[in-house]
Amino acid sequence: MVDFLCWGLQPGRVVARPPYVTATTLALTWTASATEAASRDLADQIAIMGDPWLPSPDLVPRWPDADTGCDATLALILDYGVQVVHIPTIMRRSDDPIVLPEAARTVRTAEAVALTALVGQARDNYLAIPDIHRLHAATINSRVARLAEDLTEDVDTYRRLATYLAFLRNEGLPLLAERRQTLRHVRSIPRGVVEDLPAAAAHTPDARSVAAAWVWLDATLGRPAGGPHAHMAPSILLAFDHDLNPEGRMLLREWWQQYLQVSATTVLDGSFARPVHEHGERHVS
C-alpha cells in the first residue's frame, strides 16, 4: 500500500486534491450556500457554537424555558442594582484572558448587547441597537445585532447572563460607561510607570501604547473596540499581559484607578504622574 501523503510530498511532485475532499465540502455547504439568508443563518450559528460553555447547575438553576429564565434574570438585575452603565462591551468571565479568543468574541459581544437591553427593560427603558451603540461607543455589527436578539430565545443564554451579573456584582458594579469615557483618549502611559514594570513588559516595542491598551481592557472589562488602540493585534496584548507579573498588574491598576479619581475632579494636562503605592488589593469602584 502506498502512503499517499508521503508520496505526494516528495520534491517536485504535484498532486491534485483528492476528488472526495471537494465532493464532501460541496455536500456540506451546498444547502447553506443556496441563498444569502441561509449562508447568513449558518454563519450566525457557527458564531454561537464558538463559545459553548454553560455554568454549573450548582451556581445557576436550570430554568425550564426562556421566559422563566428571562424573568429570573430581570429579577437579578433589580436585586443586584445593575444599571446600563455597569455593562461592559463584551462579557468576560473572571478566568478569561484579557482578550478573548476570536471564536468567542462575536457571541460574547452579542451577550453584552443583550444584557444591556435586558437591564434597560428591567428599568422600563427599552433600548434599541442604536441606543446601545451610543452607550457602548463601540462597533456593533449586523451579526452581533442579530445574535443579541436570537440569543434571548434560548434558556441557556439566561444562565450565562446570570453568571455575568454575579461577576459584575463581585467586581463592585463599577461604572464602566464612565471609565470608557475617561480612558478612551489615553493613548500612552507615562514613561516612569512603564519603566517600573517587569523588564519583559517594559521592553515591549512601543510599551507605553501597549500599556495604555492593556489599561483600557483591564479597567473597562471590555474589548479593544472603542478604546485608544482598537486595532492593536490581540497577540501583542496577550504577550504583554503574560509578561506582567502580579506586581506589574497592580502598578498599572493603581495608575488607572488614580487617573479616574483625579479626572473626576480636575482637567488633566496629559502629564499624569505615577500614583503612590498603597497595598496589594485590586480596587474596582
- Say how far apart CA 256 and CA 179 lie, in whole Å: 9
* pLDDT confidence tier of residue 14, bands split at 50, 70 and 90: low
Query: Which residue is listed with cell 475532499?
Result: 21
Report yes or no: 87 and 112 within 8 Å, Cβ to Cβ: yes
Which set of grid coordinates corresponds to residue 267? Answer: 482637567
- Amino acid in position 3: D
Mean pLDDT of all residues in 21-36: 75
Q: What is the pLDDT of residue 273?
A: 44
Q: What are the φ/ψ torsions at residue 155 (nearest 5 degrees)?
A: -60, -35
- Say how far apart CA 120 and CA 158 lie, in whole Å: 15
What is the longest distance spanned by two Cα atoms in the chain? 78
Residue of higher predicted confidence among 42 and 96: 96
- Say how far apart CA 184 and CA 165 lie, in whole Å: 24
Mean pLDDT of all residues in 143-164: 96
Report yes or no: 214 and 222 within 8 Å, Cβ to Cβ: no
Q: Which of 99, 143, 109 is nearest to 233 (CA)?
A: 99
Which set of grid coordinates corresponds to residue 189? Answer: 502611559
Q: What is the pLDDT of residue 23?
A: 77
Question: What is this structure's pTM?
Answer: 0.82
- Say how far apart CA 278 and CA 281 lie, in whole Å: 9
CA dihedral (277, 238, 188, 285) in degrees, to 10, reads -50
Cβ atoms within 10 Å of 222's Cβ, excluding its own: 24
The string of pLDDT tens digits covering residues 212-251 is 999 999 999 999 999 999 999 999 999 999 999 999 999 9
Q: What is the chain's mean pLDDT, rounded?
A: 87
- Is the pLDDT at 256 greater than 50? The verdict is yes
- Is the pLDDT at 265 greater than 80? The verdict is no
Least confident of 39-43, 129-133, 152-156, 224-228: 39-43
